[in-house]
Amino acid sequence: MAETVAVLSQKGGTGKTTAVRHLADVFRRAGLTVLAIDLDPQGNLSDYLDVDPEASPTIREVLTGEAKAKAAIHPSPDGVSVIPSNLSLAEAEVALAGKMGRELTLRKALKPLAGDFDVIFLDCPPNLGLLTVNALVAADHALLSAEAQYFALQGVEQALEVIELARDGLNPDLDWLGVVFTIADMRTVHSREAQASLKAHIGDKLLDPVIRQSIAYAESAERAVSIIEHRPDLGADYLALADELLRRLGQTAARRRLAPMLAAAREGTAQR
């Protein structure tokens, strides 16, 4: 059965979609079958994974009942399966708002895929609206992304309120995996203080691996290649993050397969 992980943030610019793109890639490299679902009308994840912008059907048609989820799965050059998105998803969200049981729409649509993948990532829009609630109701786990800045704690607290809403009678078994600290320059006092503040409030729910800030992520997105290939030294951050998430998900065999890649990346980083 697939482990479904909803990745969310209270606002844009936290590196959330970049995290989904690279975690999906690393999990695939660790031998897992991965599906990434783009729930953002901006379609950035679909673009990052180099899915044809004209690909159809998309998640919009899945949510409106015009297509089955299996029919909306498209391949990416990286080997990650994708259900893409585009701006028409915004119309679907409006239509969903008037439906009975609207929060359950995505969970029902994804149920037939449960045995087809090891992990399903849900890339939520950069807000805490109906699409995000649908993702949390459909998910087994929630992962938050937080930018290394002063208001990170406020954003995390707001996202946790939505997680509690999803748990309240809709998905009581929803697990909170933790918070990934992104776009961080740990050489600055500001980033270190923001990290310390989060750590003081949420303890070990703040994941130890930190995703460093770099223009290389924009470059890798433009070229539609993984950061693992574009900048292996930065890719070490995502290998470490994936390892920690696999530990929390109980994916022992995948961690063993990932271990040589992580060791090589860390050695390469130490030599730079």
Residue 267's pLDDT is: 78
- What's the pTM? 0.94
CATH code, residues 3-204: 3.40.50.300
Q: Is the pLDDT of residue 173 over 90?
A: yes
Encode pLDDT of 118-144 as tens digits.
999 999 998 888 999 999 999 999 999
Q: Is the pLDDT of residue 270 over 70?
A: no
Map out the domains of the chain as residue ranges.
3-204
Encode pLDDT of 33-86 as tens digits.
999 999 999 999 999 999 999 999 999 999 999 999 999 999 998 899 999 999
Could you please report the per-residue DSSP string of the chain? -PEEEEEE-SSSSSSHHHHHHHHHHHHHHTT--EEEEE--TT-HHHHHTT--TT-SS-HHHHHTTSS-GGGG-EE-TTS-EEE---TTHHHHHHHHTTSTTGGGHHHHHHGGGTTT-SEEEEE--SSSSHHHHHHHHH-SEEEEEEESSTTHHHHHHHHHHHHHHHHTTT-TT-EEEEEEEEEE-TTSHHHHHHHHHHHHHHGGGEEEEEEE--THHHHHHHHT--HHHH-HHHHHHHHHHHHHHHHHHT-HHHHHHHHHHHHHHHHHHHH-
Mean of pLDDT over the chain: 90
Encode pLDDT of 19-44 as tens digits.
999 999 999 999 999 999 999 999 99
